[in-house]
Chain A
Amino acid sequence: MSRRIVILSAGLSQPSTTRLLADRIGQAVQAQITGRGESAEMEVVELKDLAIDLATAMTTGGMPTPRLARVRETVSAADGIVAVSPVFTASYSGLFKMFFDVLDPEALNGMPVIIAATAGTPRHSLVLDHAIRPLFTYLRAVVVPTGVFAATEDFGDGEAGRTLTSRIHRAAAEFATLVLAEKIGVEGFAPIADVKKRVSGIQIDRAVTPFMDMLQEHVKHRDPGRGQQ
């Protein structure tokens, strides 16, 4: 079974440093998954291409455009995501946040995630753990311990460059372990909730709770129910 990995890049320029980092992480993830005898299909989503769609959703009370609807379904159906943002004004970019703001709160349940960010200076590196990690924790995604932060100097060939490469590989290895993990546990000993059940918010859930189950707690046994005139 091939795993589907979605890479979300919030870079704006062309070519962009953020996309460059996203691609390097993507290659490392591919190598880690194939190295364990499995295959991975990678899909890159440039959030810049969704900027107008996101603005439309924001100004219409959440109406998804066809393109945004497709991406939301793709993301919720993924086996793992790589999320990369440039640091703008001491945090993730507004575009990056807008995308996660339009997702259903249940859209990323149990989703393995690598978080990564780019910036002009290493002094922004805590953005990963102070802004991006809590965002995914709120959405009940599972963020790997190693975050990948790359300042401009990390793209050089010195010590900084070598440690960036090792961070990428460590994050990819942690990620591959999560993506390929099988659900384990013995039925009957403890309730095993499906922590990966997700709601894209695009398709209506047809497995609706039967109405009597919704009504039950509101009607006491005194309620004569049907038919009484």
Chain B
Amino acid sequence: MQFGIFSVGDVTIDPVTGRMPSESERLKAMMKYALKAEEVGLDVFATGEHHNPPFVPSSPTTMLGWIAARTERLQLSTATTLITTNDPVKIAEDFSVLQHLADGRVDLMMGRGNTGPVYPWFGKDIRKGLPLAVENYHLLRRLWREKVVDWEGQFRTPLRGFTLAPAPLDDTPPFVWHGSIRSPEIAEQAAFYGDGFFHNHIFWNKEHTQQMVELYRSRFEHYGHGSADQAIVGLGGQVFMRKNSQDAVREFRPYFDNAPVYGHGPSLEEFTQMTPLTVGSPEQVIERTLGFADYAGHYQRQLFLVDHAGLPEDVVLEQIEILGTEVVPVLRREFEARRPSHVPSDPPGHAALAAQGPNSRHRQVMPAANLDAVA
């Protein structure tokens, strides 16, 4: 099972010190978190993508390329890559290059983006969010899988005789996740292609996450990619830890109370009860996280949000250290002990996918088994 951190990349004032980091400091801090993640034995770093203040990650592959050059094992990913407003051709190129430079340590997560004004800046319309996600992703799959692409769709200028350069590393496209909080259509899309499904998890109640994951799992099986419990699932989580749980609560409360998304709303205690947020000792985080599998099933990737709401850099680095040294080693052992042998531990990585060869399901644009029946 893979464990890592994912970052929204918000530039937020530290409510305790009143200090506002510069955009440059925030970007550099995110890079330090990624390096720290590898240092302490975490598996994944994923960055968000945003095109408006107060966020800094507008160019994810630039950031991931920087990290790739300074790491050896860390898997580089996104949370999420905007499949709606980005040109699929540019996504294919950017991540193809990144694959080569990072020796295949790359996957990515598709998302739609929910900020209305961003769409027209890229010539798109948020009301077309779902059709854009459907069409653009299908084109992306073809760009990564067909030598010469002729394409005509609704949203992009047609392609005639287009060949992606560079081709994906070993002609093997990166593994793709689809992230959605509440659109069943996206769970269906992930299941159709046999891709992974990631639920952000951290802003919603577990009953909701459970329904979305269950839908994805049942449709994954329907399309013949394996049994429902073999579907590739990732979940978010949000933690703040100190040795004594009371210290964690006291230190984190001002950051919670002023957090950009849910601050000035429910209390820390209410939000902790309703969502996966866990503020306490490493033991409490371990217990809560193990409980995720009780409603989402045995899953393959757990990403933690640790660096938002203005938390200072040294504190975030400590949190990553605690995750890597005290929490994740126990989680790895416990999750694996409970996992049935027919359920994969990890999401498919580059080496495994490349080894499956040119005729493997992963190399097909539409690998669903019962396509003839549904077409």
Q: Which of A58, A63, A205, A208 makes the CB contact (< 8 A) with B274?
A: A63
Residue in B closest to A212 when the chains form the complex, CB atoms: B374
Q: What 1/0 flags go to B267-302 for Cβ under 8 Å of A?
A: 000110011000000000000000000000000000
User: How long is the Cα–Cα vector from A66 to B273 in the complex, in angstroms?
Assistant: 11
Residue in B closest to A63 when the chains form the complex, CB atoms: B204
Q: What 1/0 flags go to A188-222 for Cβ under 8 Å of B?
A: 00000000000000011110111110110111101
A226 at the interface (CB under 8 A from B): yes
User: How long is the Cα–Cα vector from A61 to B211 in the complex, in angstroms?
Assistant: 19
* A203/B211 in contact, CB under 8 A: yes
Residue in B closest to A211 when the chains form the complex, CB atoms: B192
B247 at the interface (CB under 8 A from A): no
Q: What 1/0 flags go to B202-224 for Cβ under 8 Å of A?
A: 01110110011001001100000
B185 at the interface (CB under 8 A from A): yes
Q: Which of B149-171 contact A (CB under 8 A)?
A: 150-154
Chain B interface bracket (under 10, 10 to 19, 20 to 34, 35 or more): 35 or more
Q: A-side binding surface: helix, strand, loop or mixed?
A: loop
User: How long is the Cα–Cα vector from A66 to B219 in the complex, in angstroms?
Assistant: 27
Q: Which of B173-214 contact A (CB under 8 A)?
A: 182, 184-185, 187-189, 191-192, 203-205, 207-208, 211-212
Count chain A residues whose beta carbon lies closer than 8 angstroms to a beta carbon of B. 34
Q: Which of B138, B184, B262, B265 makes the CB contact (< 8 A) with A204?
A: B184
Q: Which of B15-23, B25-33, B363-371 faces chain A?
A: B363-371
Q: Which of A58, A59, A218, A224 makes the CB contact (< 8 A) with B131?
A: A218
Chain A residues, Cβ within 8 Å of B313: none
Chain B residues, Cβ within 8 Å of A215: 134-135, 138
* A225/B261 in contact, CB under 8 A: no
Residue in A closest to B270 when the chains form the complex, CB atoms: A56
* A208/B219 in contact, CB under 8 A: yes
- With A60-B266, A219-B138 known to touch, is A226 a contact of B371 (CB < 8 Å)? yes
A89 at the interface (CB under 8 A from B): no
Chain B residues, Cβ within 8 Å of A206: 184, 215, 218
* B374/A229 in contact, CB under 8 A: no
Residue in B closest to A55 when the chains form the complex, CB atoms: B265
Q: Which of A18-46 contact B (CB under 8 A)?
A: none
User: What are 28 sample pairs from A and B whose C-beta atoms fall under 8 A apart?
Assistant: A56-B270, A58-B265, A60-B203, A61-B203, A63-B203, A63-B204, A63-B205, A66-B205, A203-B211, A208-B187, A208-B188, A209-B185, A211-B188, A211-B189, A211-B192, A214-B131, A214-B189, A215-B135, A215-B138, A217-B131, A217-B154, A218-B153, A225-B366, A226-B366, A226-B367, A227-B366, A228-B146, A229-B147
Which chain A residues have a beta carbon within 8 Å of chain B's beta carbons?
55-56, 58-61, 63-66, 69, 203-206, 208-212, 214-215, 217-220, 222-229
